[in-house]
Amino acid sequence: MTNTQTNTSDEPNDRVFSRVGLVAKTGQGSIGDEIAHITGWLDKRGVEVLLDETAGELAGEGIQTSDRVDLPAQVDLLIALGGDGTLLSVARFAAEAGTPVLGINYGNLGFLTLTPREEIYEVLEQVFAGQFTSSSRMMLRASIERADGSVVTWDVLNDAVVNKTSLARIIEYEVAVDDEFVSRYRADGLIVATPTGSTAYSLSAGGPLIMPEMDAVVVCPISPHSLANRSLVLPADAQIEVKLITSDQDIVLTLDGQEGATFDQREVARIERCPHRFELLSAGERAHFEVLRTKLGWGDERQ
């Protein structure tokens, strides 16, 4: 089920953002001046600002800071300055807190950080005037059931990926959906992605593009040994179970490219719908297919 709200200039959103958090890309010193300018812009409008520790280091002293994990629960709006990786680093915490995120693109591709840095203040004006679009995205919950019966879980916005920790032989594993055996694969790995993540690693591995506000799950083998093994698009409520057959390699489950955990053939990885949803804000007229044409270099042959 799609859960999307769109606001136009004739229908302003009446949400109030009185406390804003800023997170910044690590190692991006040039963002420091921008953080100071944004903080000043917000302060003039009576908005309280709280920075994550990285942004705080870049901006200097005199501004409140908080750990990145705790920051989303303390603010009404989170602004991510960086690339998609910066936004992904706070996505699960923002979703859990119910805090919307606005991404400012200081990276390269930027499917989630839609606002170019040159348009920061134009977009902020629109957002604080209620002229923005709110997009609700499904997330996944990935877990590993350990050999001792314990379970560890993570929430992801893009994908959970089974892959090798180093160059080695291909992985052999089997996949079941809702307890029904699907197939045994010999491949470099496996990607389980959300529609939001369909433009990330899954796309590079030959997976389908899915409209980001749909609720569905992509199961995409990475370079499968058999050409008959293709990507699957499953209902959002499907539970995917992955069991390793390979026993002599280091295999890791990577979560949104942010962290990972090793597991072996004695353990089971499960991926299913997360109870939380992620809210992404944007402003300006950027249709989804315009973003795809721009980011992926699609041609525009209209006469």
Q: What residue segments make up the domains of the chain, in order of their start?
A: 4-132+283-296, 139-275
The CATH number assigned to the domain with range 4-132+283-296 reads 3.40.50.10330
Residues 6+ apart with CB under 8 A from 175: 182, 183, 185, 190, 219, 240, 241, 242
Name the burial class of residue 192, with classes exposed (0-12), middle (13-18) and buried (19+) by CB atoms within 10 angstroms of its CB.
buried
Mean pLDDT of 52-70: 85
Mean pLDDT within 168-173? 85
Question: Is 24 a residue whose pLDDT tops 80?
Answer: yes
Tokens of 194: 């959300």
CATH of 139-275, one of 3.90.180.10, 2.60.120.10, 1.10.287.70, 2.60.200.30: 2.60.200.30
pLDDT tens digits, 149-164: 999 999 999 999 999 8
The per-residue pLDDT for 220 is 97
Task: Give 236-270 pLDDT, tens digit per residue.
Answer: 999 999 999 988 788 999 999 999 999 999 999 99
Summarize pLDDT for 80-98 with one digit per residue, the tens.
999 999 999 999 999 999 9
Using pLDDT thresholds of 50, 70 and 90, give the confidence band for residue 57: confident
3 state SS of 242: strand
Active site residue 248: no
Which member of 84, 159, 188, 215 is catalytic? Answer: 84
Average predicted confidence (pLDDT) for the chain:
89
Element (H, E) at 23: strand 19-24
% the chain with pLDDT above 70: 91
